[in-house]
């Protein structure tokens, strides 16, 4: 294979391992190496992150990350490509080319989803010292066929995974909120609890009279949960690990290797 030129600025370090893979007709090299944590000053001490389907993430600071809904927007195109595939003769070159078009369409959906998730998680970990996020049962939610597509488009598991390793990289702490914590049903002002249907998008407290957006109220409750978790003696936001962090980078090498 010889030397491969890349556009990525790789650090001067020994690569621990690498993997060559093929996706939708393109070839990639995935490298793993260790870096030192990039500790930086945080804009906020605490933040609560509420993951949703309508919006990708709602922060307790009021910031909202929109959900690109890549799969939903590409559904018509994918359906058309699948219909065209059925018309091709099995074993023919035209059928193979059509399958490649479908693979590239699915890869584009995946890339759009990853791009939105990476931008959101990087901002959260760079600017917040303590991050509270729900420990959602993504696989259990996927078993509901009515919500499976929307849950997959929201990328719940990947969002939590990226928060976990980027927090180490940027010197943040993560508090996983119990999945049974009623963040949606509690009032963030007085902690009064009342049942909420999925159709109710506004939380109106019967005790203190506060009126908040449903998801923003949940994000505030998650932040309060994280604050209480760090109120335990000996568990403060400044107790962050400075050990080296292992990261991975994936490089598109189709132009370098000359594969067709």
- Please state, in angstroms and as integers, the Cα–Cα distance from residue 95 to each residue in 83, 88, 104, 106, following that order: 12, 5, 14, 17
Q: How far apart are CA 115 and CA 96, in angstroms?
A: 28
SS3 27: strand
Q: Are 172 and 49 in contact (CB under 8 A)?
A: no
Q: How far apart are CA 188 and CA 190, in angstroms?
A: 6
Cα three-residue angle 240-242-246, rounded to 5 degrees: 115
CB-based contacts of 93, cutoff 8 Å, min separation 6: none
- Please state, in angstroms and as integers, the Cα–Cα distance from residue 18 to each residue in 8, 11, 31, 91, 130, following that order: 15, 15, 4, 34, 33
The residue from 84, 134, 135, 213 that is catalytic is: 134
The residue from 50, 153, 173, 223 that is catalytic is: 50
Q: Are 244 and 3 in contact (CB under 8 A)?
A: no
Q: Is 178 known to be catalytic?
A: no
Backbone angle region of 106, left / alpha / beta, with phi > 0 → left and psi within -120 to 50 → alpha: alpha
The residue from 213, 215, 238, 252 that is catalytic is: 215
Q: Is 191 known to be catalytic?
A: no
Q: How far apart are CA 28 and CA 247, in angstroms?
A: 16
Enter the DSSP assignment of 39: -
Q: Is 215 known to be catalytic?
A: yes
Give catalytic residue positions: 50, 134, 215
């Amino acid at each position: 294979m010889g030397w491969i030129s890349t556009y990525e600025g790789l650090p001067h370090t020994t690569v621990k391992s690498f993997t060559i893979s093929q996706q939708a007709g393109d070839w990639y090299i995935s490298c793993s190496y260790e870096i030192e944590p990039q500790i930086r000053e945080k804009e906020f001490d605490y933040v609560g992150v509420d993951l949703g389907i309508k919006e990708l993430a709602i922060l307790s600071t009021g910031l909202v990350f929109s959900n690109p809904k890549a799969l939903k927007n590409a559904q018509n195109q994918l359906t058309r490509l699948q219909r065209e595939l059925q018309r091709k003769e099995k074993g023919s070159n035209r059928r193979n080319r059509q399958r490649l078009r479908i693979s590239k369409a699915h890869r584009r959906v995946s890339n759009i989803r990853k791009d939105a998730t990476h931008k959101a998680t990087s901002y959260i970990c760079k600017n917040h010292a303590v991050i509270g996020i729900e420990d959602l049962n993504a696989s259990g939610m996927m078993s509901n066929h009515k919500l499976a597509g929307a849950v997959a488009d929201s990328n719940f598991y990947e969002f939590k995974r990226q928060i976990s390793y980027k927090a180490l990289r940027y010197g943040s702490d993560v508090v996983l909120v119990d999945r049974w914590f009623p963040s949606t049903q509690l009032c963030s002002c007085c902690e009064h609890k009342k049942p909420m249907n999925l159709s109710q998008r506004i939380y109106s407290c019967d005790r203190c009279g506060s009126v908040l957006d449903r998801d923003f109220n949940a994000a505030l409750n998650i932040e309060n949960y994280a604050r209480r978790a760090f109120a335990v003696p000996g568990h403060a936001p400044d107790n962050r690990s400075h050990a080296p962090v292992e990261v991975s980078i994936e490089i598109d090498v189709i132009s370098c290797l000359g594969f067709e």
